[in-house]
Structure 1
Amino acid sequence: MCLILIVEDEQRVVAFVDKGLRRNGFRTRVAIDGEQALQELRSQPFDLIILDLGLPKVDGWAILQELQRLGNQGPVIVVTAEIDVRDAVLQTGAHDYLAKPFRFQDLLTSIQAALSL
């Protein structure tokens, strides 16, 4: 069973994604800010990371840089309200980018594609 880290500071988005993933058979962990995300990433490997860019304490861009440094982490799907960052996000090595608001089915499709690599 895949373990997914959800890095998101908006509680409604966390609840929406977490509930949907669990219903689809995934195990999840949640980090509500960048510092907590980095602690989680250093403590255990994840099969996939769902990452918001606009986080308190440490932003998602810094987390993407740290993931590159750590290496050997699962694919990253960036979900953000920031516009015009798709190319920059994909250049960091992220697997996919979804603009908020997004449909859960679109996220699930992206996750399935990322995990089939």
Structure 2
Amino acid sequence: MAPHAKFYWNELMTDDVEKAKAFYSAVLGWTFSEMPMEGGRSYYVAMLGDEPVAGLMDKTDIVPPYVPPHWFGYISVDDVDARVALLEAKGGQVVRPPFDIEGVGRIAIVADATGAPLGLMTAFDE
């Protein structure tokens, strides 16, 4: 698990996954591994050699269409549920309550006190 309070993962939410994959492959040398998701969707893990470095996914039906393609960051925390409660007490908002992703970790999608969105994540022990 990443140390508490450090950015742990970043993912690109885009309307054109294939174009993004071609771009980052050419510019950064990333390769991509496809992970099937529920509902027939796919998540693409960007790899730098053997190391996973980021994720890419189609944002269609996940965020409103007026939201442009963007990078989204996740911060590693010691306890997602406790940190979400503290976030709410300090003026943040919960966008999506904590949930588990099998083999990955427990995640919450939140907004800080200024309205900036981010993810909080506690990775499952490997």
TM over 0.5: no
Task: Report the TM-score, using the length of structure 2 for normalisation.
Answer: 0.30
Higher strand residue share: 2
Structure number with the bigger relative contact order (C-alpha 8 A, sep ≥ 6) is: 2
Structure whose CA Rg is larger? 2
Task: Report the TM-score, using the length of structure 1 for normalisation.
Answer: 0.31
